[in-house]
Structure 1
């Protein structure tokens, strides 16, 4: 077991040989998209079986209603805000993430023409009414643990600044509240731990991905938490901090 650290991105310990046998608004700066992520695997991404007619021209005309006149081929945050308002989706809802994921968007607040056209074609959608009809289906898909995990993993690359390997703690906190706030008793205490002790300034990919499993599998009293397992060291520090609080309450 490696030494505990409180640096910006604590390492993940390896399992021992015996162990080898699942907010407040903030300003997030994002770069103009320049990469295309892998297409997410989702039941809701299958084309409609109802024979809905898809028109490439209609889809392109729809895109052009929102693209930035000074950045042709790209919908920027202003256009994104108008688009979400037009389809009746709150910018503070997880549905924004779901739609961005469905379109394989690479940067928060942006859609490229390529992302829009290929994403809408995959969904067999070329108009606002068709998309609005699909939204309940997207939201129901969040109840599927497999789809939710895919969305959660996608979110790390989507919301972090593209010139950074890690996500700022403030951004991670907003995303955890948005995505997991009602699903785990660990979310609020973990956020309090990060705010009170400030052990890190950024959250790395391993910490982000591991927190979903931690939040949805570890009991509230930590009786099943294995300190020798391969959790990031940051989680050990949180468990120690929380146990200290619980002991103080009981004494």
Structure 2
């Protein structure tokens, strides 16, 4: 058995509480860890006998102590980098924004003991193998769940804003948009919302991916902000931009200039229309 398969089996057992024998059976059958776990819970003939044990507070505290700043009470940047290495995830991976939301991170690369314990317990993890699987679930939810995406998106503004500052630094904002928007577009969390309403009077999501915001528009937005030489992004612009992305058409023709959009978005629409007119 190769090392990668052994690691999958260990993670499978940690998440499900299954025996090594059952874990091996599901991993060999389904290959991908997350699919194997789903099958374990859903297949009636091979389902688990007992629910997985609840995450252990003591295990989480011990793990926290491994990464905690030796001279402080919290996990800081150095500990976060070590944690990312052990989890096999890039420190700039979009999934860490979901982790920050779940663990109520007070700042970039910072984790309190209470947030760590409560957050990981809510995700269902108390060890590195289960955390790796938890990241898979969080990544999928962030990409596919529109409400969850908005929660993480709004939290990203709050926990990275410098103390005492009302706006988010432009470099930080651009970096977040560059990783969040493509992830939401790919997974469906940012599916285009049409102005048509369903029978209940609610706006509906369009099934046509070509109707709305495209990946190239994210690059236009970043280039536009660079040309404007803005130093920061206000909370109003940050939050309303998400609604703009979900509702604007791909040619920027249905924009309501009389609506209460921030002037930065008004200016961008004119910029985008010009790029559409000249073939980008």
TM-score range, shorter chain: 0.7 to 0.9
Change (3 A) 1:124 1:197: closer
- 1:143-185 CA-partner distances (Å, limit 9, x unpaired): 1111111111111112221221110111111110010136333
Structure with the greater relative contact order (CA < 8 A, sep ≥ 6): 1 or 2?
1
How far residue 55 of structure 1 moved from its aligned partner, in angstroms, is 2.2
Counterpart of 1:227?
257
Structure 1: tracts of 5 or more residues without a match: 1-48
Counterpart of 2:163?
162
Q: Distance in 2 between matches of 1:101 and 1:50?
A: 26
**Contact 2:252 2:272 (C-alpha < 8 Å) held by counterparts:** no
How far residue 133 of structure 1 moved from its aligned partner, in angstroms, is 2.1
Q: Distance in 2 between matches of 1:53 and 1:127?
A: 12
The structure having more radius of gyration, on CA atoms, is: 2
Counterpart of 1:216?
246
- 1:178-227 CA-partner distances (Å, limit 9, x unpaired): 101363332111111111232x3210111001111111220121111000
Greater share of residues in helix: 2
Matched, 1:189 2:228: no
Q: How many residues align?
A: 199
Q: Name the TM-score, length of structure 2 as normaliser.
A: 0.67
How far residue 239 of structure 1 moved from its aligned partner, in angstroms, is 1.3
Q: Name the TM-score, length of structure 1 as normaliser.
A: 0.74
Look up the SS of the partner of 1:65 in the other structure.
Answer: helix
Cα RMSD (Å) of the superposition? 1.7
Counterpart of 1:92?
92
Q: Distance in 2 between matches of 1:237 and 1:124?
A: 45
Runs of 4+ in 1 over 3 A off after TM superposition: 244-247
How far residue 245 of structure 1 moved from its aligned partner, in angstroms, is 3.7
**Contact 2:124 2:134 (C-alpha < 8 Å) held by counterparts:** no
Q: Distance in 2 between matches of 1:138 and 1:246?
A: 35
Counterpart of 2:139?
139
